[in-house]
């Protein structure tokens, strides 16, 4: 499936117009959070703006007057207390809470609270707040039935999103509304007649909120994206919906254009030279941004020198430059079904930094001396220069490993594969080792009009795992390396993953018991990873494998970036960072810079500022993942558009009070069966078993059960597939391991 980098020159300068207030708001929110976190840690003391600026590192980015203005904002929000004479304290007495609003599909909201239970907000208590806004909530005197707090919104402190993507709907003569694509916005917008920009009924537009003085919020159209349902329109709309612009500002492109492709002579003298060592890349067939390369040679003592070489983006993207500011704001590349929107302009991502074959490139490397059992005897981390001898696709490398092709560098591939398998075995066998999830990832085969004609499950083969295992080795080694450099206490950027929520593990125990599996839901620490791995091995190849793995994943915390190293539970690593993809991930670039600074005895990094950068990167990573999932869901709906009335076998992937979710076995598309489409009986929801039970027949439909369903309706605008339940099917035969 081809990935295309959008390069529409007509939109090149639109960034200045569409650079949303939400980006500025997000930056302001980041500063607010930085101030609150600092004062909260020192809640018994009062500080003036100058002290806060100095202690948080904000003085590098703004003057004291600006910091004071931010602190005055927080006083108005009830987060800080002005104690007089320019002194401020963290406020603990407020009966209201200020935070970020999250709205779900049902229209209910939650105020996200870091240090306590999230606060429930009913649809009638949302007021004029929208998903993502920073709001003030007044706590209600009575809690909900489950004991969690509830409240009502009294003020929109900060409107975090002011630009929206949606479909124009005609309501009458010269009356038009915008129906937002984002299902979390349960509010239609009135389009001002003078600001429709010629948009027609059924077209998709990008619009900006003007005011909300009346009952309905009022918007003006900024850009008509095109006819709803056209591929280019929909993919462009998804990017804008999640805040990713496919084009770069002119000043960023101009700065990138000035970067010379020739390597400066001094770099040859200052770097370790690997140009004489066999080196190659292994990537997807449609990749253009080659982040990483591997090298290998046999040493005189019989061991092997294996190099993991990573594009040295930090050499070209300097702190504070326009390129750096844009890369930080994006924080990640975005991968939709049919295109890639890179973190860096094409000049860097696909040319200067990309480790292309038959070209010399500047790299940052982790180099290992390993024996035949893949035991690492020593390692080295530093700046290098390489020459890539060959570019493999995963398929080409796999053919060599399978003996289907002699290919170039056969010995090198086979030796690296052998070492990778031993690294993997050690990783999973270690106490508290990695947890192995066999998750479904899909890709689409598209025709010349970008219509999906086939849905394919991505299969991890040895060539994929080879790269994965050496990238994991490099990431964990560099994380430990920089941690051990901390003679003075030096901050670093870690990829952390907390242990599972104990309540969720107990719910998982209750659920798997219905399938006859024993599982210690009370396990903690190393034992928790051991029992999870044990469970996953037991269910492998069974009909219930997918649903149990899905619930196990849901019991896990989300991996995030942080300066506070708590280890990575899922991988079983005490130290772990992201080092291997600086072309497409900003935290990797941050880590490269830290290593360089610490090598040069420059210890000026501010941990508070670094932590805020980590939080921003984590948030953008989540947003990019949402955009990718949305594009996949759109293509799934499009794929089933011409299959209305056809029947397919599937597996129940979710059960809620109003119906069941079913994932089709043949094409992995997921749809919803509402209760009204379960016509053979009246089904009631059983919360204890995550199942629907027929009132008369007693038929129980549980997570993981196979069922036959019919495609009833598809809705591209809502990205929804509606199905009807036909019958329960016998379990699929167990797969051979």
Domain membership of residue 401 (yes or no) is yes
Nearest to 669 by CA among 461, 437, 452: 452
Shared domain for 374 and 227, answered yes or no, is no
Domain membership of residue 517 (yes or no) is no
Q: Quick: pLDDT tens for 523-538.
A: 776 677 888 888 888 8
Regarding predicted confidence, which is higher, 614 or 90?
614
CA angle 135, 138, 141 (to 5 degrees): 150
Residue whose structure tokens are 């537009």: 205
Shared domain for 188 and 307, answered yes or no, is no
Shared domain for 211 and 257, answered yes or no, is no
Please give the distance of CA 488 from its chain centroid, rounded to a whole number: 33
Q: Quick: pLDDT tens for 106-140.
A: 788 999 876 567 889 999 899 999 998 999 888 88
Return phi, psi of residue 608, to 5°: -65, -45
Residues β-bridged to residue 156: 135
- Mean pLDDT for 589-612 is 90
17, 96, 135, 163, 535 from 160: Cα distances, Å: 17, 20, 10, 9, 42
Q: Quick: pLDDT tens for 322-333.
A: 999 999 999 999
Shared domain for 272 and 354, answered yes or no, is yes
Nearest to 241 by CA among 284, 197, 184: 184
As given in the structure block, the two tokens for residue 50 are: 């100058």
Shared domain for 361 and 450, answered yes or no, is yes
Domain membership of residue 277 (yes or no) is yes
Q: Quick: pLDDT tens for 342-378.
A: 999 999 999 999 999 999 999 999 999 999 999 999 9
**What CATH number does residue 218 fall under?**
2.40.50.700
Alpha-carbon gap, residue 121 to 125, rounded angstroms: 6
To the nearest 10°, report the CA torsion of 441, 573, 619, 126: 90
- pLDDT score, position 26: 57
- pLDDT score, position 93: 61
**What CATH number does residue 73 fall under?**
1.10.10.10
pTM for this model (two decimals): 0.83
Nearest to 425 by CA among 367, 464, 374, 368: 374
As given in the structure block, the two tokens for residue 175 are: 């009356």
Domain membership of residue 680 (yes or no) is yes
Alpha-carbon gap, residue 280 to 400, rounded angstroms: 14
Q: Is 361 left (phi over 0), alpha (psi -120 to 50) or beta?
A: beta
Shared domain for 272 and 360, answered yes or no, is yes
Shared domain for 405 and 327, answered yes or no, is yes
Q: Is 645 left (phi over 0), alpha (psi -120 to 50) or beta?
A: left
Contact by Cβ (8 Å): 78, 136: yes
Coil, strand or helix: which one is 564? coil
Is residue 415 exposed (0-12), middle (13-18) or buried (19+ Cβ within 10 Å)? middle
Domain membership of residue 329 (yes or no) is yes
State the total domains in the chain.
4
Regarding predicted confidence, which is higher, 608 or 293?
293
Final residue of a structural domain among 241, 275, 309: 241
- Mean pLDDT for 661-670 is 91
Find the domain containing 32 and state its range. Answer: 21-94
Nearest to 441 by CA among 734, 635, 668: 668
Domain membership of residue 342 (yes or no) is yes
Q: Cβ–Cβ contacts within 10 Å for residue 453, how many?
A: 9
Nearest to 70 by CA among 149, 165, 158, 132: 158
**What CATH number does residue 656 fall under?**
2.40.50.140
Residues β-bridged to residue 279: 295
**What does the chain come to in residues?**
737
Domain membership of residue 633 (yes or no) is no
Q: Specify the range with the lowest mean pLDDT, choosing from 183-187, 206-210, 279-283, 445-449.
A: 183-187
Contact by Cβ (8 Å): 154, 133: no
Shared domain for 220 and 308, answered yes or no, is no
DSSP state, residue 573: B
- pLDDT score, position 229: 86
Regarding predicted confidence, which is higher, 66 or 362?
362
- pLDDT score, position 1: 37
Alpha-carbon gap, residue 499 to 664, rounded angstroms: 32
Shared domain for 274 and 298, answered yes or no, is yes
As given in the structure block, the two tokens for residue 732 are: 């699929």
Shared domain for 219 and 294, answered yes or no, is no
Regarding predicted confidence, which is higher, 406 or 148?
406
Coil, strand or helix: which one is 211? strand
Q: Is 185 left (phi over 0), alpha (psi -120 to 50) or beta?
A: beta
Q: Quick: pLDDT tens for 252-273.
A: 999 999 999 999 999 999 999 9
Return phi, psi of residue 31, to 5°: -65, -40
Alpha-carbon gap, residue 472 to 632, rounded angstroms: 27
Tell me whether strands 279-283 and 390-393 are parallel, antiparallel or unpaired: parallel
As given in the structure block, the two tokens for residue 589 are: 């670039």
Counts for the chain of helices (H) and strands (E), in that order: 17, 34
Shared domain for 206 and 268, answered yes or no, is no
Query: In angstroms, how far is the first alpha carbon of the chain from the final one?
Result: 29
- pLDDT interval class at 506 (50, 70, 90): confident
Characterize 577-586 residue by residue with b for buried, 16 or more Cβ atoms within 10 angstroms of its Cβ, and e for exposed.
bbbbbbbbbb
Residues β-bridged to residue 368: 306, 379
- pLDDT score, position 486: 64
Domain membership of residue 656 (yes or no) is yes
Shared domain for 264 and 317, answered yes or no, is yes
Q: Quick: pLDDT tens for 201-245.
A: 999 999 999 999 878 899 999 999 999 888 999 999 999 999 999
- pLDDT score, position 73: 83
């Amino acid at each position: 499936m081809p990935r295309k980098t959008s390069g529409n020159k007509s939109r090149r300068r639109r960034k200045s117009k569409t650079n949303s207030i939400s980006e500025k708001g997000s930056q302001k929110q980041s500063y607010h959070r930085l101030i609150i976190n600092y004062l909260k840690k020192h809640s018994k003391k009062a500080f003036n703006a100058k002290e806060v600026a100095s202690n948080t590192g904000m003085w590098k980015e703004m003057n004291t007057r600006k910091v004071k203005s931010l602190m005055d904002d927080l006083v108005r929000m009830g987060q800080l207390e002005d104690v007089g004479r320019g002194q401020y304290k963290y406020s603990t007495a407020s009966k209201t809470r200020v935070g970020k609003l999250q709205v779900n599909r049902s229209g209910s909201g939650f105020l996200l609270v870091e240090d306590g239970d999230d606060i429930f907000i009913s649809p009638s208590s949302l007021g004029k707040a929208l998903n993502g806004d920073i709001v003030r909530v007044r706590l209600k005197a009575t809690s909900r039935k489950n004991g969690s707090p509830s409240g009502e919104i009294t003020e929109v402190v900060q409107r975090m999103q002011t630009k929206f993507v949606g479909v124009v709907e005609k309501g009458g003569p010269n009356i038009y509304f915008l129906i937002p694509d984002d299902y979390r916005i349960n509010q239609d917008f009135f389009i001002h007649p003078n600001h429709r920009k010629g948009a027609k009924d059924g077209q998709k537009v990008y619009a900006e909120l003007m005011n909300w003085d009346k009952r309905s919020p009022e918007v003006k159209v900024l850009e008509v994206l095109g006819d709803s349902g056209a591929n280019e329109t929909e993919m462009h709309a998804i990017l804008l919906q999640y805040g990713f612009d496919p084009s770069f500002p002119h000043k960023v492109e101009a700065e990138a254009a000035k970067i010379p492709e020739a390597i400066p002579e001094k770099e040859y003298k200052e770097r370790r030279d690997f140009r004489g060592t066999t080196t190659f890349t292994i990537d997807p067939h449609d990749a253009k941004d080659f982040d990483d390369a591997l090298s290998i040679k046999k040493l005189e003592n019989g061991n092997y020198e294996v190099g993991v070489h990573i594009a040295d983006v930090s050499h070209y993207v300097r702190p504070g430059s326009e390129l750096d500011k844009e890369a930080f704001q994006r924080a990640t590349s975005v991968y939709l079904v049919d295109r890639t929107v890179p973190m860096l302009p094409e000049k860097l991502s696909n040319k200067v930094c990309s480790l292309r074959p038959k070209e010399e490139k500047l790299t940052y490397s982790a180099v290992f001396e390993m024996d035949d059992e893949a035991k690492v005897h020593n390692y080295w981390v530093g700046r290098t220069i390489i020459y890539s001898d060959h570019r493999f696709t995963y398929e080409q490398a796999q053919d060599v490993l399978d003996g289907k092709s002699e290919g170039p560098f056969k010995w090198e591939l086979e030796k690296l594969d052998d070492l990778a398998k031993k690294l993997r075995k050690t990783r999973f066998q270690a106490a508290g080792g990695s947890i192995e999830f066999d998750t479904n990832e899909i890709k689409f085969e598209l025709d010349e009009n970008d219509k999906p004609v086939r849905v394919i499950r991505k299969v991890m083969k040895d060539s994929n795992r080879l790269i994965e295992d050496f990238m994991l080795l490099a990431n964990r080694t560099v994380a430990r390396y920089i941690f051990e450099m901390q003679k003075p206490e030096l901050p670093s950027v870690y990829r952390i993953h907390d242990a599972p929520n104990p309540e969720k593990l107990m719910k998982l125990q209750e659920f798997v018991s219905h399938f006859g599996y024993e599982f210690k839901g009370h396990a903690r620490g190393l034992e928790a990873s051991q029992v999870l791995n044990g469970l996953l091995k037991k269910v492998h190849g069974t009909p219930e494998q997918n649903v149990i793995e899905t619930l196990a994943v849901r019991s896990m915390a989300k991996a995030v970036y942080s300066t506070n190293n708590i280890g990575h539970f899922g991988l079983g690593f005490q130290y772990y960072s992201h080092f291997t993809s600086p072309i497409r991930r900003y935290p990797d670039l941050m880590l490269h810079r830290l290593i360089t600074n610490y090598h040069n005895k420059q210890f000026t990094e501010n941990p508070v500022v670094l932590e805020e950068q980590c939080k921003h990167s984590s948030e953008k990573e989540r947003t990019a993942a949402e955009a990718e999932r949305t594009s996949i869901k759109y293509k799934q709906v499009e794929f089933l558009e011409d299959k209305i009335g056809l029947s397919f076998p599937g597996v129940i992937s979710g059960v809620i009070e109003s119906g069941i979710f079913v994932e089709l076995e043949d094409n992995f598309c997921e749809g919803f069966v509402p209760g009204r489409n379960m016509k053979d009986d009246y089904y009631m929801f059983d919360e204890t078993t995550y199942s629907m039970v027929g009132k008369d027949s007693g038929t129980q439909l549980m997570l993981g059960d196979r069922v036959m369903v019919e495609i009833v309706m598809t809705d591209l605008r809502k990205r929804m597939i509606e199905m009807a339940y036909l019958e329960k099917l016998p379990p699929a035969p167990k797969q051979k391991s």
